[in-house]
Chain A
């Protein structure tokens, strides 16, 4: 199956700093990528839909100025958590949609904000 990578897999940062997470589709082009957040023992919640070459579409309640998404190429989307706070600590998972409309998930990034 198609492969999606995420980097870094784990990051610890101080409160107030910004963190960038990369999501890459390794063997296919993805015009659409998705960013999810998962808190412990909870389900995945969609944060935003990232479309190559255009602005991301954010879900209700997700601050677009805090979670900056850039999808500059057909294989790369980035999520930047700006001015991170401890409540932003979570497991962030991206997915990329293939040409046949199936989503492939990255391995996730665990963010801990101290």
Chain B
């Protein structure tokens, strides 16, 4: 059974600081997703990572994937208040179904 572990579960950051969210998964997979969720809203797709060594960047967020270590990271650079949200990673096992991590609540303080 595929398990996805995300940490930390809660992250309080100062504006301008950098930090990383980690996503570990237990079995092989062909793709990994990162999503953002604002309170009361559905999921917003951030990144799709398809292969080992994949790195994608959008603004202050950068995601990477190491399939050998079964690890993905979401790196936040110079955080701003607008990044406050809950971030989920999700692993897709061969186009079957997504298994989500527990989510990381990110709060960026001024």
Question: What is A's interface to B at a CB cutoff of 8 Å?
Answer: 1, 34, 41-46, 49, 93, 95, 97, 101-108, 110
Question: What is B's interface to A at a CB cutoff of 8 Å?
Answer: 31, 33, 35, 40-43, 45, 48, 88, 92, 95, 97-103, 105
**How many A-B contacts are there with CB distance less than 8 Å?**
41
Given the known A-B contacts A101-B95, A107-B42, A108-B42, are A43 and B48 also in contact in the complex, defined by CB atoms under 8 Å? no
CA of A110 to CA of B42, assembled, Å? 10
A46 x B92 contact (CB < 8 A): no
Contacts of B100 in A (CB 8 A): 43-45
Main secondary structure of the interface of A (DSSP, over half): strand
Contacts of B92 in A (CB 8 A): 101, 103
Q: Considering only CB atoms, which chain A residue lies closest to B103 in the complex?
A: A43
Contacts of A41 in B (CB 8 A): 105
- What are 10 A-B interface contacts by the 8 Å CB criterion? A41-B105, A43-B100, A44-B43, A46-B97, A93-B42, A101-B92, A104-B45, A105-B45, A106-B42, A108-B41
Contacts of A106 in B (CB 8 A): 42
